[in-house]
Amino acid sequence: MKYYSLNHKAPNVSFKEAVINGLAPDRGLYFPESITPLSEDFIKNISQFSNEEIAFKVIQQFIGDEIPKEIVQQIVSETISFDFPVVSIDKNIGTLELFHGPTLAFKDVGARFMARCLGYFNKENTNKVTVLVATSGDTGGAVANGFLGVKGVDVVILYPSGKVSDIQEKQLTTLGQNITALEVNGVFDDCQDMVKSAFLDTEIARQLTSANSINVARWLPQMLYYFFAYKQLHKEHSKIVFSVPSGNFGNICAGMMAQKLGLPIQHFVAATNVNDTVPQFMVEGNYNPKSSQPTISNAMDVGNPSNFIRIQQLFNNDFKNLKTAFSSYSFSDNDTRDAMKQIFKNSGYITDPHGAVGYLGLERHQLKDNEYGVFLETAHPVKFLDVVESTLNKKIEVPTHIQSLILKEKKSIKISSYHELKTFLQSN
Catalytic residues: 107
The answer to whether the CB of 37 falls within 8 A of the CB of 58 is: no
Question: Residue 316: helix, strand or coil by DSSP?
Answer: coil
Residue 196 Cα to chain centre, angstroms:
18
Q: Which amino acid is at 100?
A: H
Give the number of C-alpha atoms closer than 13 A to the C-alpha of residue 158, restricted to the C-beta side.
31
What is the rounded CA–CA span in Å between residue 289 and residue 306?
Answer: 10
Q: How far is CA 391 from CA 135, 203, 272, 275, 333, in A?
A: 25, 48, 19, 21, 11
> Coil, strand or helix: which one is 146?
helix
Distance, C-alpha 132 to centroid of its chain = 16
What spatial distance separates the first Cα and last Cα of the chain, rounded to whole Å? 34
Nearest to 352 by CA among 3, 97, 150: 97
Residue 303's identity, in one-letter code, is: G
Helix (H), strand (E) at residue 415: strand 413-415
Distance CA 83, CA 330 (A): 29
